């Protein structure tokens, strides 16, 4: 949501990239499902940190 000309950050792209990177890395070691889950966990953590940082600034 945009508030009076202030742009907020979004973590969706970080989440998507982390999931894809995790799946690719997992495929390289023969465990794409585990890589997907690790990537998703890391992406959620990063998106949450971005969201918390953005809330702190407002």
Give the residue extent of every domain in the chain. Answer: 12-57
Does the pLDDT value for residue 50 go beyond 60? yes
The pLDDT of residue 57: 77
Does the pLDDT value for residue 6 go beyond 90? no
For residues 20 and 18, give the distance between their C-alpha atoms in angstroms, rounded to a whole number.
6
Q: What is the mean pLDDT of residues 13-20?
A: 94
Does the pLDDT value for residue 18 go beyond 60? yes
For the entire predicted model, the pTM comes to 0.79
pLDDT band at 51 (very low <50, low <70, confident <90, very high): confident
For residues 24 and 37, give the distance between their C-alpha atoms in angstroms, rounded to a whole number.
12
CA dihedral in degrees (12, 17, 18, 24; nearest 10)? 150
């Amino acid at each position: 949501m945009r508030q009076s000309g202030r742009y907020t950050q979004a973590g969706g792209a970080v989440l998507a990239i982390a999931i894809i990177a995790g799946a690719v890395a997992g495929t390289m070691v023969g465990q794409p499902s585990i890589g997907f889950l690790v990537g998703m966990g890391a992406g959620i953590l990063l998106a949450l940190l971005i969201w918390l940082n953005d809330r702190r600034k407002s």
